Amino acid sequence: MSTDTHLPTGRDNYRSYARTWLRTHLPPHMRADSLDYRSPTLEESRQWEAAMYKAGLAGMTWPTRYGGHGLSLREHLAVNKEIGALPMPESVSSIGKELAGPIIMTVGTEAQRQTFLPAILNMENYWCQGFSEPDAGSDLARLRTRAVPQGDGWCINGQKIWTSGAAKAHFCLLLTRTGTVADKHRGMLMFAVPMNTPGIRVVPIKSIDGKESFAEVFFDNVLVPDTARLGAPDEGWSAAVRVLSIERATNRMYRAWRFEAELDFLVRACQSDAQLTRLLDDGHYQHRIGQVLGEIDGLKGLVERTVSQLMEGDEIGARGSLTKLYWSECHQAFAGLAQNMVAQVTPTSSPLAQRANKAFTQAYLFSRAATIYAGTSEVQLDLIAQRILRLPRE
């Protein structure tokens, strides 16, 4: 059941409540724009997100019988606006909350819902997403990881790559196929696989920012019971498409408001230092900052429209590709602008400017992946061309 029965009603009241609670309880060392900032430990992040859930700021749209608060996407967006307005760390359980949870609610059995969903919200376990493969990339129709019936369960063999959070995950939302690559979209099957199952090997990948948040995951004769299966054997593709639609359009709805907070931090950092202040008077940078403001407003409009359409009963469909393409390209460009500006920080610059230098250098390095994960920009453009514009194939 929901943990708090005294939550405010109405979108505006809920947003005001979220703003007050978050600004009161967010530890200073978790604010990226604070001089006290330090990277939180996994346990600190877990405790923070568990506290947010208990305060009614996670699981807003999930049914109360599965631990959620039974509210609408409008309240979800209202809270996300306030989450975005603060430069807080990204969720360490976003895959569980925003991908695994919704798909389990859609195709999972009642027993799976009762088992997994409350535990996700309570931060009792973490999930990773086993979709991408070395020879398939964003083209899931080419994935090769196979699941073969064996006894009362399945035997899985294959390899996944760029698996975020695999080293800490308790479960993997794993997409496999029951036939051959020639079957393309047919015969795909999704599983909830415990990461401590014998035969699973996780090999961390160090990314350009020096972190090891990604990994390769190998499945060598991994035996799982049939109760680990999510949906019917031919339901994997439709389930995967739903996951990616969610990932591209509705998860991390706070992005536009987070971009706005980052821009505000960048400007304040420049204003705090005499040498950097002159950049704000430079016509080139003024033009680029103006562009960023326009892009932020455009992204806000896309998100607001998506929520309205979903509330009216529309499906996300390929329109999620528009949102994903827009935010990834825009934020990558903004990160480049910010890094260019803070690169002029010196050891004698103000403390806030030096903090911004560290923050935006990391943001720039990580932004290189924004146009790759959740589907490359090329894949999004192809989906937009085929499914929205209905352009002919050559």
CATH classification of the domain holding 44: 1.10.540.10
Task: Identify whether residues 73 and 168 lie together within a single domain.
Answer: no
What CATH number has the domain bearing residue 352?
A: 1.20.140.10
Query: In the structure encoding, which two tokens stand for residue 362, read together?
Result: 């990391």
The residue out of 38, 71, 90 marking a domain boundary is 90
Rounded average pLDDT over 40-54: 96
Contact indicator for 360, 266 with CB cutoff of 8 Å: yes
What CATH number has the domain bearing residue 148?
A: 2.40.110.10
Task: Identify whether residues 283 and 217 lie together within a single domain.
Answer: no
Determine the Cα–Cα distance for residues 389 and 382; give it in Å rounded to an integer: 10
Contact indicator for 349, 273 with CB cutoff of 8 Å: yes
Q: Is residue 363 part of a domain?
A: yes
Rounded average pLDDT over 347-374: 91
Task: Identify whether residues 160 and 286 lie together within a single domain.
Answer: no
Rounded average pLDDT over 203-210: 86
Indicate the residue type of 215.
Answer: A
Rounded average pLDDT over 14-40: 95
Burial of residue 254 (CB within 10 Å: 0-12, 13-18, 19+) is buried
Q: Is residue 102 part of a domain?
A: no
Task: Identify whether residues 227 and 290 lie together within a single domain.
Answer: no
Contact indicator for 300, 256 with CB cutoff of 8 Å: yes
Task: Identify whether residues 139 and 206 lie together within a single domain.
Answer: yes
Q: Is the pLDDT assigned to residue 2 strictly greater than 50?
A: no
Q: What is the pLDDT of residue 235?
A: 75
Q: Is residue 148 part of a domain?
A: yes
Give the pLDDT confidence of 129-187 residue by residue, as tens digits.
998 899 876 677 788 999 999 999 999 999 999 899 999 999 999 999 998 877 777 88
Whole-model pTM: value is 0.88
pLDDT over 70 percentage in the chain: 94
Domain count along the chain: 3
Q: Is residue 112 part of a domain?
A: no
Task: Identify whether residues 34 and 76 lie together within a single domain.
Answer: yes
Rounded average pLDDT over 115-133: 95
Bridge partners (DSSP) listed for residue 147: 156
Rounded average pLDDT over 30-57: 95
Contact indicator for 200, 222 with CB cutoff of 8 Å: yes
Q: What is the pLDDT of residue 106?
A: 86
Q: What is the pLDDT of residue 319?
A: 76
Backbone torsions φ then ψ of 153, nearest 5 degrees: -145, -145
Q: What is the pLDDT of residue 260?
A: 96
The 3-state secondary structure of 130-150 reads ECCCCCCCCCHHHCCCEEEEE
Here the contacts of 100-106 (C-beta below 8 Å, separation 24 or greater) are 100/127, 100/129, 100/171, 100/173, 100/192, 101/62, 102/242, 102/243, 102/246, 103/173, 103/190, 103/230, 103/239, 103/242, 103/243, 103/246, 104/192, 104/230, 105/62, 105/63, 105/66, 106/239, 106/242
Cβ atoms within 10 Å of 112's Cβ, excluding its own = 17
pLDDT category at 80 given cuts 50, 70, 90 is: very high
285 contact partners, CB below 8 Å, separation of at least 6 = 279, 337, 341
Q: Is residue 32 part of a domain?
A: yes
Determine the Cα–Cα distance for residues 228 and 335; give it in Å rounded to an integer: 40
Q: What is the pLDDT of residue 42?
A: 95
Determine the Cα–Cα distance for residues 187 and 237; give it in Å rounded to an integer: 8
Task: Identify whether residues 81 and 162 lie together within a single domain.
Answer: no
The residue out of 37, 72, 90 marking a domain boundary is 90
Q: Is residue 72 part of a domain?
A: yes
Task: Identify whether residues 31 and 73 lie together within a single domain.
Answer: yes
Tell me the C-alpha to C-alpha distance, in Å, between residue 254 and each of 79, 257, 258, 374: 8, 5, 6, 17
Task: Identify whether residues 146 and 221 lie together within a single domain.
Answer: yes
Angle value at C-alpha 75, between 118 and 52, nearest 5 degrees: 45
The residue out of 198, 233, 268 marking a domain boundary is 233
Task: Identify whether residues 260 and 223 lie together within a single domain.
Answer: no
pLDDT category at 204 given cuts 50, 70, 90 is: very high
Q: Could you tell me the residue range of the domain that residue 41 belongs to? A: 11-90
Q: What is the pLDDT of residue 1?
A: 41
232 contact partners, CB below 8 Å, separation of at least 6 = none
Query: In the structure encoding, which two tokens stand for residue 38, read together?
Result: 């330090």
Q: How far is CA 35 from the centre of its chain?
A: 26
pLDDT category at 38 given cuts 50, 70, 90 is: very high
Task: Identify whether residues 223 and 267 lie together within a single domain.
Answer: no
Q: Taking the CA of residue 108 as centre, how many other CA atoms within 13 Å lie in the half-sphere pointing to its CB?
A: 20
Task: Identify whether residues 283 and 376 lie together within a single domain.
Answer: yes
Q: Is residue 289 part of a domain?
A: yes
Cβ atoms within 10 Å of 393's Cβ, excluding its own = 6
Backbone torsions φ then ψ of 297, nearest 5 degrees: -65, -40
DSSP assignment letter at 386: I
